[in-house]
Amino acid sequence: MLPGLGGFNPKKMQGLMKQMGISQEEIPAERVIIEKEDNSKIIIQNPSVTRIKMQGQESFQITGDATEETNISEEDIKLVMEKANCSESEAKEALESSNGDIAEAILKLSE
């Protein structure tokens, strides 16, 4: 804890942050989507989003109910259908449950 605060007092903390050049802003949001390099997505429902500005930099703090969505290509679905001799819906479901891992999806369907 920082000296001189005498316990956690939100107003004192805001004043101290303002003196240090730090500002916070709550951003009303219904959903936050993070698109990852592998084309999958992290979707955060019911988020609490705070924008923090400090020394010319902006950062965001996000909390909420997160789920990950895997992007599955048609080629992957066709490959699993062919190798596991299954329907398109079975192949897609197996790929989704294995987070897009083709080998794992084929093994699940071959059991």
**Using only C-alpha atoms, what is the Rg of the chain?**
23
Range of the domain at 52: 14-69
Q: What is the pLDDT of residue 2?
A: 52
**Crossing angle (nearest 10°) for helices 102-110 and 74-84:** 30
Q: What is the pLDDT of residue 55?
A: 87
28 lies in the same domain as 64: yes
Q: What is the pLDDT of residue 35?
A: 92
**Residue 61 located in a structural domain:** yes
54, 35 Cβ separation under 8 angstroms: no
Q: What is the pLDDT of residue 19?
A: 84
CA atoms of 85 and 110, how far apart (whole Å): 9
Q: What is the pLDDT of residue 1?
A: 45
Q: Which residues of the chain have pLDDT under 50?
A: 1, 5
Q: What is the pLDDT of residue 7?
A: 67
* pTM of the predicted model as reported, rounded to 2 decimal places: 0.58
CATH code for the domain of 98? 1.10.8
Tally of structural domains, the chain:
2
84 CB-near residues (< 8 Å, 6+ apart): 90, 91, 94, 105, 106, 109, 110
56 lies in the same domain as 26: yes
| CA 88 from centre of chain | 28
